Amino acid sequence: MRNRLFLLIIVLCAWRYSALAQGRLSKSDLVKIDFAILAKNKQKIQAGDAALAPAYKQLVGDANALLDYRPVSVMQKKDLPPSGDRHDYMSIAPYWWPDPAKKNGLPYIRKDGEVNPEVNNYTDKENLPRLCENVYTLALAYYFSGQEKYAVHAARLVQVWFLDTATRMNPNLSYGQAVKGVIEGRAEGLIDTRHFIFLLDGIALLQRSTGWSPQKQEGLKNWFSAFLAWMQTSKIGTDEMNAKNNHGVWYDAQELSIALFVDSTDLAKKIIGRTAARLDAQMDSNGMFPLEMERTTSLHYTVFLLNAFYIAAGLAEKTGTDFWNMETPSGKSLQKAFVTIRPFITQQEIWKGKQINPFNFEDAFPLLLRSAGRFGCTECIGSIERMAGEKYRRLLINLL
């Protein structure tokens, strides 16, 4: 009996880490906010729109549950980063494992698509995205309901992670996705903080709350200004900016989000130009992305990349740039990429690339949602509804 229980535990752990290896963008219905759509849906909810009622009820229920979510910080990790300062963020590269041929396992070796369970020993990588998602959810609940309790709690979460001197994260990612025995921090680690994009959407919704003061706004702007400077001047930051695959696009999306938050419109326009050049270079004539096709979970990474491009396109609207309908010098466009990928993310065709883990089709919901509005995809919402099944009406995307 004991042996069977042990085996069950091993199987469950293997399943958990296989699921983690899928590397979900975030919660399936976490989408870059379109504030114009949000305002229209708020009016509908206030008017008693029955179609939006299930999603709104779910949002409020989720936010109520989050009122019990206690603040987290970088101070909670067990081990110190190489700097000796617990305020520095740290994570280890997920696809790197101890070398079984070495007595001490060092240096680690790469197993693409297979997540080393040691990643869970560094809670920063778990706490940061959860914090960002929770601030996003609480802020949306405040925006739609007008109830200050959600905004006050969101503000408290931000205060502890970013602003309180005793618990704040230092504005750098010098020790992200470290590889033991190889390097203390990698450029690839910057993708850990892509969730800042959603947190900053939440911050935008808190502006009228009494729980979010001008002092907090200024303090957070200062923090992100320092982080932006680190991104632009550190070797890790510049190496990630020069990445040729999804990492480079996520760098742009993150930098663009921060640039707009700290009111650097000129920088934002420069970033958009760089992102357009990436689309031109990374996409082939068939609308596919060869570097993502090389991965062992190629459908996941193709969708992951396109989600970053879509976020950048949404942010570009704030500068008056129509990235959605932009065509690059060699004829590449987001719409062409979407048309190519659509049959596979709507389960109409079977993916022909390598995919060692089952693809989570909910990861493609943000692409389908925004393509419905931006590219006139009349069947996209229906595809989401079909794949989501009975839970569709409760999905947050109905409000976004």
Q: Report the CATH number at residue 198.
A: 1.50.10.100
Are residues 274 and 400 part of one domain?
yes
**E strand segments, the chain:** 90-92, 96-97, 109-110, 175-178
Closest Cα to residue 133, out of 67, 192, 202? 202
Identify whether 94 is preceded by a cis peptide bond (ω within 30 of 0): no
Name the DSSP class of 160.
Answer: I
Are residues 348 and 199 part of one domain?
no
Give the model's pLDDT for residue 28. 52
Are residues 195 and 336 part of one domain?
no
Are residues 317 and 214 part of one domain?
no
Are residues 271 and 380 part of one domain?
yes
Residues of the chain with pLDDT under 50: 1-26
Give the model's pLDDT for residue 185. 95
Question: Whose structure tokens read 């778990």?
Answer: 126
Are residues 398 and 269 part of one domain?
yes
Are residues 387 and 352 part of one domain?
yes
Closest Cα to residue 136, out of 62, 226, 46? 62
Give the model's pLDDT for residue 8. 36
Instruction: Specify if 24 maps to a domain.
Output: no
d(CA 294, CA 274): 23
Pair 151, 160: CB distance under 8 Å: no
73 Cβ contact list (under 8 Å, min separation 6): 127, 160, 161, 164, 167, 168, 169
Strand partners, 90: 175
Give the model's pLDDT for residue 78. 87
Closest Cα to residue 326, out of 394, 374, 384, 395? 374
Which of 188, 207, 229 is the endpoint of a domain?
229
Structure tokens at 351: 């993916």
Instruction: Specify if 278 maps to a domain.
Output: yes
C-alpha angle with apex 377: 374 to 380, nearest 5 degrees? 110
Closest Cα to residue 299, out of 47, 66, 25? 25
Say how many domains are in the chain: 2
Give the model's pLDDT for residue 128. 96
Are residues 292 and 182 part of one domain?
no
Strand partners, 178: 92
Residue 337 structural domain: 243-400
pTM given for the model: 0.90
Are residues 108 and 75 part of one domain?
yes
Which of 206, 229, 252 is the endpoint of a domain?
229
Structure tokens at 157: 């979460």
By three-state DSSP, how is residue 31 classified?
coil
Structure tokens at 281: 């270079």
Instruction: Specify if 212 maps to a domain.
Output: yes
Question: Whose structure tokens read 């989600």?
Answer: 307
Which of 178, 200, 229 is the endpoint of a domain?
229
d(CA 394, CA 296): 33
Give the model's pLDDT for residue 7. 37
Are residues 398 and 336 part of one domain?
yes
Instruction: Specify if 41 maps to a domain.
Output: no
Are residues 282 and 202 part of one domain?
no
Among positive and negative, which fits the CA dihedral 369, 371, 374, 377? negative
Are residues 255 and 187 part of one domain?
no
CA dist 3 → 8, 12, 117 (Å): 9, 14, 22
For the chain, give the longest Cα–Cα distance: 67
By three-state DSSP, how is residue 347 classified?
coil
Instruction: Specify if 155 maps to a domain.
Output: yes
Share in percent of the chain as helix, strand, coil (round to 5) = 60, 5, 35
Closest Cα to residue 196, out of 165, 214, 169? 169
Instruction: Specify if 170 maps to a domain.
Output: yes
